[in-house]
Amino acid sequence: MKEKVLDTARRLCDTMMSNFKNAKDLPPEKLFHYHQGVFLSGMMNNYKLTGEEKYYDYIKAWVDSIIQEDGTIDTYDPTRLDDIQPGILLFPLYERTKDEKYKIALGTLIDILRTWKKNNAGGFWHKDMHPNQMWLDSLYMGGPIQAEYAVFSGETKFLDEAAEQAVIMYENMLDAKTGLMFHAWDESKEVEWADPATGLSPEVWGRAQGWYVVAILDILQFMPDNHPRREKLIEIEKAVLASIIKYRDAQKRMWYQVIDKGDCAGNWIETSCSCLFTAAIAKAIYMGILDKSYTDYVNECFDAIYDSVEKKGDEIYVNKVCVGTGVKDYQGYIERPTVANDLHGVGAFLLMCAEVARIN
């Protein structure tokens, strides 16, 4: 199984490198953004398992196309967490090269997080343009880089902050009926989609839930055993994963765009969330949070996702991937377009491959 998984990851990486021969052309071009960050994070995780230098070189080429020799980040938006996420690529680049420009750029991103705006509950705003709103996506954009920076720099407050954001989300965004979490929460209850009593958005969107469970594990891997929030994060992760498992489609062995409404008209199986859930379950097994008996379940999920993607010779195209979306109602989510080899989906698929390979 491990060789199948790693071979699949290689084929997908090679497909992307063939379609985007110059890393700087990855969309959105010339922007330091989570679309490229997610894809290249997945590539980096598989590089660490395969040791194929062309993948490291490709990642470095993209970063170097945006970060200048003095550490300046050419194009990014400091008011949205989406443009902080690619900073996690800077840790392995600095570790290997000791080039100060990566450390300087990392410091720029971290300094932004030092004064990030918060709602009254202490939760990070998703973006400046979304005051008081927490979106599940945000935990992946800001949490892992904070946790790793805490170890990198010794500033442990960043690990505490990352953990606190996960807890605030769980305490305010949980759907008690399903055990899943709503896409977003407006603490001020002012935005049009917010429930007037709770401030919650109306639906459980697959990929947002996926970012959340993957991010908690990424935070936990940098957390010492005696950290006061460690057991709470493990408790949350196990509870949410248990609920996610309940909603997998029994026949297709994948998950729906709106997770808990698989029997509703128009809903459809979405690949990126299925990859993220599979990655999270696999990583939870690897970290000892879930029992090894779940390995067969993970492999079954991987095989189902593998069977669903399009193969053209040696090339792989991950299809049925929802493009990015804001907060929607049910109809809005199911009407979102899909794109084959959208970077969200490719990144999620590669993250899954790395974690499945590690437990086989």
Beta carbons of 46 and 9 less than 8 angstroms apart: yes
Report the catalytic residues.
137
- Give the model's pLDDT for residue 205: 98
Quick one: tokens of 320? 């049925």
Phi-psi region of 6 (alpha: psi -120 to 50; beta: other; left: phi over 0): alpha
- Give the model's pLDDT for residue 144: 98
Collapsed DSSP state (helix, strand, coil) of residue 135: strand
- Give the model's pLDDT for residue 247: 98
What is the DSSP annotation of 303-352?
HHHHHHSEEETTEEE--S-BPP--S--HHHHHT--B-TT-HHHHHHHHHH
Beta carbons of 180 and 261 less than 8 angstroms apart: no
- Give the model's pLDDT for residue 58: 98
Per-residue model confidence as pLDDT tens for the chain (360 residues): 999 999 999 999 999 999 999 999 999 999 999 999 999 999 999 999 999 999 999 999 999 999 999 999 999 999 999 999 999 999 999 999 999 999 999 999 999 999 999 999 999 999 999 999 999 999 999 999 999 999 999 999 999 999 999 999 999 999 999 999 999 999 999 999 999 999 999 999 999 999 999 999 999 999 999 999 999 999 999 999 999 999 999 999 999 999 999 999 999 999 999 999 999 999 999 999 999 999 999 999 999 999 999 999 999 999 999 999 999 999 999 999 999 999 999 999 999 999 999 999
- Give the model's pLDDT for residue 336: 98
- Give the model's pLDDT for residue 301: 98
- Give the model's pLDDT for residue 111: 98
- Give the model's pLDDT for residue 233: 98
- Give the model's pLDDT for residue 176: 95
Question: What is the number of other CB atoms lying within 10 angstroms of the CB of residue 90?
Answer: 26
Question: Rounded to the nearest 5°, which phi and psi values hold at 329?
Answer: -90, 180
Beta carbons of 319 and 268 less than 8 angstroms apart: no
How many angstroms separate the CA atoms of 258 and 111, rounded? 36
Quick one: tokens of 238? 């196990």
- Give the model's pLDDT for residue 329: 98
